[in-house]
Amino acid sequence: MASHKPARKSTIYDIARATGSSTSTVSMVLNGTWTRYRIKEETAQRVLESARKLGYNVNLKARGLRLSRSGLAGMVLPHYRNRFFAGLAQTFEDQARNRGLCPIVVGTQRDPAVEISVTETLLAQRVELLFIAGVRNPAPLNERCAAAGVPSINLDLPGDGAPSVVSDNRGGARAITDVLLDKLLAQGKSPHELVLLGGIPGEYATDSRIAGFRDAFAARGIEPAADAVDSCGYNAAAARRALAARQAALGRLPAGLLMNSITAFEGLVQFTSTLPAEAWRSLVVGCFDWDPFAAHLSFDVTMLRQDVEAIIAEAFALTDAYDPAGRSVVVVPTRFGAIFEEAEQTREFDR
Amino acid sequence: MASHKPARKSTIYDIARATGSSTSTVSMVLNGTWTRYRIKEETAQRVLESARKLGYNVNLKARGLRLSRSGLAGMVLPHYRNRFFAGLAQTFEDQARNRGLCPIVVGTQRDPAVEISVTETLLAQRVELLFIAGVRNPAPLNERCAAAGVPSINLDLPGDGAPSVVSDNRGGARAITDVLLDKLLAQGKSPHELVLLGGIPGEYATDSRIAGFRDAFAARGIEPAADAVDSCGYNAAAARRALAARQAALGRLPAGLLMNSITAFEGLVQFTSTLPAEAWRSLVVGCFDWDPFAAHLSFDVTMLRQDVEAIIAEAFALTDAYDPAGRSVVVVPTRFGAIFEEAEQTREFDR
DNA sequence: CTGTTAGCGCCTTCAC
DNA sequence: GTGAAGGCGCTAACAG
């Protein structure tokens, strides 16, 4: 029974010929609109069966061409290597499918050239909407989408080129800083020991987090140390270097550390792994973003989690009532919790 | 300058009209084939400029329809939450782009119904090839691809429905078991203490790993303990339960543990975190798959890494010389190394 | 050197 | 109830 016809897929013409009916009849039956056109039940059955027998599969390109609707939903992100982006991709796929769209997500490696070319390809595929996450500068992408009349939404960073949905970085930073300050005080340490490490100066998320960090101090009528904020970049190596510098200057590590990304946190872990336990045992640590294993390291670490479900849901909502001229910014709360709570959540995620 | 025409994208007709030339001229110019047809330089420039001005963007659906080539490459996988799948996705995207294809990867959550529907959607989009990873049973998917005349390749599991490329699970298991046995002996412990935990009986990867595990023992003229292999499933909760049972029966944990997945390893970490350090401090642990943070837990753990680059490269090679009747299986070596080596590799991955 | 034309596979009005 | 016809945007002959 091996069908030896891999060359050409069967079309509605084939099945029209096979059933002795016309293409429009076949089309109607296949689209379920046949009841409205009172096509004979029997004809419909014949068509359906023939379609199955011929291994028919709609050509969405042709349909899309005709209907000028592709049924595609696009998303670009830098990579899948942290919980935030992996979660965004996952959730996007689920929600897109629920809406009858075919999700197509592409990683760009934070390379602006790739970002552009991917966007253009997606546009050329006629995606019906595009979500953009983790891009340094979304403006050129938004612009191309606008020119093509395709709604684009920026995730996790606001842009002037399109509506965006962002997490509440400032509020989250405020909350986690509060926790760390309390822990520090409980240890009898000075609030001035608390340091915010990592991120990029001028970048939206970093700036918001710095503001939240300061908010927490201000609420207590105090100020962070003059050198409390070091936006040394997001990666592990940079964090290691920054920590080494502090250690050299201070003769030890600061008592409290708020790391601006899971990769910066990784740098901390790498750095301390070269040190005796006494050097870091009682550190008070916080981190933006999270990782299931990080919860089990020998640190007292509080991790912040972004609500990817809410972010994607808001983004879809924005496309539903898309205003090409609108520059709205929707803010979604961040959540944080004890490390074991986070670990629990991981577990259920992976059945 | 806000273009208020989001409704209709411009087509080659628009630009033909604008430049007073014909659609074929425009098409040739836009496709770069115009030199071959000796179209006047000046005309070409005029077309190009007009295209830019009108914000023209090819409709790949129409082109695909005409050429019956979509330029799309598809991949399905369960999720992005471990290094293996995230790496596969990443590498696939890179290599697909290098070949001038637009990668489209979709997560299925290991839900067979989703797997089927995603495959059909991808086929309907006329992907030119489909890579299938982490599916319980690829046969129905392969079948649908074959019916549509689309090459499909199974990754990491062989199927009788299509060619496949798998990692050398048996060889890897053999190698890592050797390492663990040596460590155990160095501690003066019995090889019979070594346990292989996790995975699914009858599943290809699990079975190969069990075979490799036994190989390592056989090479030394010994045999694992009768209850050394416990294929309790892949998830953390199952591993926790299995460990609890061992602990109850033995009064302590076995001295050597080879975990069959990163999630099972997570179960081990969760379980030991409820125990005093003496209970696990000197455990000898190995793990299939890896995680940057896992390398920094308080365990002596050896992790196995699958070569995603090689897997994807082999898969593309198989599609190049695709034999629809072929059932070839390409085996790619696994690598493993000290935990710090792995950590190093992570770091460079994330710049 | 450039324009005309005929589809690619599908859907939808409009006759019959 | 069903068939014929037009066209979505593009490309590749084939004529000029």
- Dump pLDDT digits (tens) for A265-279: 999 999 998 999 999
In percent, how much of chain B has pLDDT > 90? 62
Beta-bridge mates of residue A77:
A107
How many C-beta atoms lie closer than 10 Å to residue B136's C-beta?
11
CA distances from B114 to A169, B122, B156 (A): 34, 12, 20
Q: Distance between CA A51 and CA A157 in Å, rounded?
A: 47
* Confidence at residue A65, expressed as pLDDT on a 0 to 100 scale: 87
For residues B224 and B194, what is the distance between their CA atoms, to the nearest angstrom? 7
Q: Percent of chain A having pLDDT more than 90? A: 61
For residue A238, pLDDT beyond 50: yes
**Separation of A27 CA and D3 C1' (Å):** 13
CA closest to B299 among chain A residues: A297
Q: What does the radius of gyration of chain A's CA atoms come to, in whole angstroms?
A: 27
Nucleotide nearest to A63 (CA to C1'): C10
Triad B23, B24, B25: Cα angle to 5°: 90
Nucleotide closest to residue B23 (CA–C1'): C3
DSSP-derived secondary structure letter, B277: G
Q: In whole angstroms, what is the distance from residue B81 CA to residue A292 CA?
A: 10
pLDDT digits (tens, 9 = 90+) for B32-77: 888 777 788 888 899 999 999 888 889 998 998 888 889 999 999 9
Contacts of A70 in chain B (CB under 8 A): 61
Give the closest residue to C8 (Cα–C1′): B66
Q: For chain A, what is the mean pLDDT? A: 89
Out of B62, B114, B149, name the one closest to residue A7 (CB). Answer: B149
Could you tell me if B192 and B183 are in contact, meaning their C-beta atoms sit under 8 angstroms apart?
A: no
Does the CB of B23 fall within 7 Å of any strand D atom?
yes
B102, B270, B292 ranked by CB distance to A125: nearest:
B102
pLDDT of A37 above 90: no
Distance B118 CA to D1 C1' (A): 35
Q: What is the mean pLDDT of residues B146-166?
A: 92
Cβ separation A266–B292 shorter than 8 A: yes
Q: Is the pLDDT of residue A152 over 80?
A: yes
Q: Which residues of A touch B144 (CB under 8 A)?
A: 57
CA distance A115 to A75: 11
- CA–C1' nearest nucleotide, residue A66: D8
Estimate in Å the CA A118 to C1' D12 gap, whole number. Answer: 28
What is the biggest distance separating any 2 CA atoms in chain B, rounded to whole angstroms? 88
Strands B164-167 and A72-77: unpaired
Other residues' Cβ atoms within 10 Å of the Cβ of residue B190: 14
Residue B294 DSSP code: G
State the smallest CA–CA distance between residue B91 and chain A in angstroms: 10
In B, which residues are within 8 Å of A269 by CB distance?
A: 293, 296
A351 pLDDT more than 70 = no
Which stretches of B190-234 are assigned E, i.e. beta strand?
194-197, 229-230
Judge: B149–A80 Cβ closer than 8 Å, yes or no. no
Q: Cα separations (Å) of A33 from A25, A51, B163?
A: 10, 16, 40
Nucleic acid strand D within 7 Å of B69 CB? no
Token code pair at residue A186: 């409980």
Stretch A282-287: mean pLDDT: 94
A23: alpha, beta or left? (left if phi > 0; alpha if psi -120 to 50): alpha
Confirm whether any atom of chain D, the nucleic acid strand, is less than 7 Å from CB of A43.
yes
Q: Name the closest nucleotide to B68, judged by C1' and CA.
A: C8
Q: In this complex, do B114 and A103 lie within 8 Å of one another by their Cβ atoms?
A: no
**C9 C1' to A56 CA distance, Å:** 12
Predicted TM-score (pTM) of this structure: 0.88
pLDDT of residue A346: 41
Closest-CA residue in chain A for B69?
Answer: A61
Q: Which residues touch strand C (CB under 7 A)?
A: A 8-9, 11-13, 23-24, 27-28, 30-31, 33, 56, 58-59, 62-63, 65-67; B 20-25, 37-40, 43, 62, 65-66, 68
Min Cα–Cα distance to chain A from B320, Å: 16
B-chain residues within 8 Å CB-CB of A60? Answer: 121, 124-126
pLDDT digits (tens, 9 = 90+) for B273-313: 899 999 999 999 999 988 888 878 888 899 888 899 999 99
Rounded to whole angstroms, how far apart are CA atoms B98 and B76?
19
The answer for residues whose C-beta is within 8 angstroms of residue A52's C-beta and 6 or more apart is none
Residue A181 has pLDDT above 70, yes or no: yes
Q: A144 to chain B: which residues are within 8 Å by CB?
A: 57
Residues of B in contact with A102 (CB under 8 A): 106, 121-122, 125
B73-103 confidence digits (pLDDT tens): 999 999 998 889 999 999 999 999 999 899 9
Residues of B whose CB is below 8 A from A350: 79, 81, 235-236, 263
